[in-house]
Amino acid sequence: MKISAREQSWNLSIFMLVIGLGIWQAQQLPAFGSYELRTILLGIIPLALLAMGQSIIIIGGGINLAIGAEAVLINILTAKYGEGVSFTKALVLALTGLIVAIAIGALTGWIISTSKIADIVVTLATSFVLVGLALFIQSGPGGSTNKEFSELFTGPGQNFLAPLLVLVLPLILIWWPLYRSHSGISFYAIGSNKEAAFLSGVNVSRARIKLYATGGLFAGLSGIAMTGITLSASPFASISNAATLNSVAAAVLGGVSLAGGVGGLVGPALATLVLYYIPTILLGYGIDPAYSQIIQGVLTVVVVLIGGLLRRKGSSVR
C-alpha cells in the first residue's frame, strides 16, 4: 500500500516546518532535552488527537463543529467522577467516556444522514447541547483522577516516551488498520464523490455514521488525555470553541482538503506542533500575543495556499 506522492510531499513540508520551528524555539530555551520535549508533547496531545478526529470527518466530506465540546464533555465526565478513585476504576471511567464519545459521534452522523441537514448546521446545534450538558454536570473547574492513570499519559519518568506513545499509538493501532480497511476507504469515497461512492456499493448513510463515530472516538481520547494530563476539567464554551477551531486549522494545515476525500492524519498531528510553536516562539521575543494571533492566521493561509499550488502542479492538465 502506497500513499500518494502528493500526500507525502505535504507531510514532508510540514515536517520540515516543524523541525525548523523546533530548532528556533529550542534556541530560546536555556536547555533543550527530553524533559522539554515532554512538556511540548503534553501541551499538544489533546489538540493533536482532536485534530485527528476532525481530519477523519473532513476527509469523509463532513465537518464537526461540536468536536471540541465532545472532548470537553468527556473531560468533565472522567474528571468529575475520577476524584480519589482506584486505577481500575479510572480505566473503567475512561472506557465509559470513550463509549459515550463514540455514541455521540454515531448519533450526530445518524442525524445528518436521516435529516439531510448540512453537517455544519447539525454539529453547530449539537455543540450547544454538549456544552450545556457539560455545564450541567459540573458548573465550574474541578475534578481529578487516579495518579497511576495520569502517568499513562505523562509517564512515570520525566522523559518524552509516554507522551510520544500517546500521540503515536492511536495512529498505529486505530488509524492505520482503518485506513486499509473497507470502512476507511469508504470514508475517502463519500468525501470524494458521494454519487460515485454509492454506485460503488457504499452505503453512504452507514459510512457517515461510522465516520462521525470514529471522529467521536478521537474526541473522546482527547478528552481523556486532558483529564490525564491536567488532572482537572473546565466546562466552558470558550475552551471547546477554541479547540474546535484549532482542530480545523490543524487539519487544513496538515493537508486535509475541506472539499473532502484528500489527506491523512499524520499531517494534522504535525500541524498542531506548528500551531503550538508560533505563539511560543513569538512570546519568547516578547511580542504581544495579539500579533502572534495575526501571524498565526496569516501563516495558516500562506501554508494552505502553497500546498494548494503544489497540489495543482502535481495533478494532470486541468
Query: What minimum distance in Å lies between the beta carbon of 254 and another protein?
Result: 16
The overall longest dimension of the chain from CA atoms, in Å, is 63
User: How long, in residues, is the chain?
Assistant: 318
Minimum distance from CB of 228 to another protein (Å)? 35
* C-alpha of 111 from chain center: 22
Residue closer to another protein (CB basis): 89 or 311? 311
Give the type of residue at 191.
Answer: G
Of residues 242-261, which lie at the interface with another protein (CB under 8 A)? 260-261
Query: By rule CB under 8 A, what string of x and - marks binding of each residue 5-34 to another protein?
Result: -x----------------------------
Does 114 bind another protein (CB under 8 A)? Our answer is no
With CB under 8 A as the contact rule, the residue among 114, 115, 200, 293 that binds another protein is: 200
- Under a CB-based contact definition with an 8 Å cutoff, are residues 133 and 73 in contact? yes
Asked if 126 and 108 count as a contact pair (C-beta separation under 8 A), the reply is yes
By beta-carbon proximity to another protein, the closer residue of 1 and 290 is 1
Distance CA 55, CA 266 (A): 10
Q: Which of 101, 262, 274, 281 touches another protein (CB under 8 A)? A: 262
| 3-class secondary-structure state, position 142 | strand
| Beta carbon of residue 1, minimum distance to another protein (angstroms, whole number) | 8
Residues 79, 68: Cα–Cα separation, whole Å: 16
CA distance to 114, 171, 202, 229, 251, per residue, from 70 (Å): 21, 20, 27, 17, 17
Verify binding: residue 268, another protein, rule CB under 8 A.
Answer: no
Is residue 199 at the binding interface for another protein, with CB under 8 A as the rule? Answer: yes
Contact criterion met (CB below 8 Å) for 16 and 203: no
Locate 70 and state its grid cell: 465532545
Exactly one of 21, 91, 124, 185 binds another protein (CB under 8 A); that residue is 185
3-state class of 33 per DSSP? coil
Instruction: Rank residues 149 and 179 by Cβ distance to another protein and give the closer one.
Output: 179
- Among 198, 236, 237, 283, which residue sits at the site for another protein (rule: CB under 8 A)? 198
Q: Report the residue number, 290 or 318, with the smaller CB distance to another protein.
A: 318
Residues lying near another protein in the complex (CB under 8 A): 1-2, 4, 6, 182, 185-186, 188-189, 191-193, 195-203, 260-262, 315-316
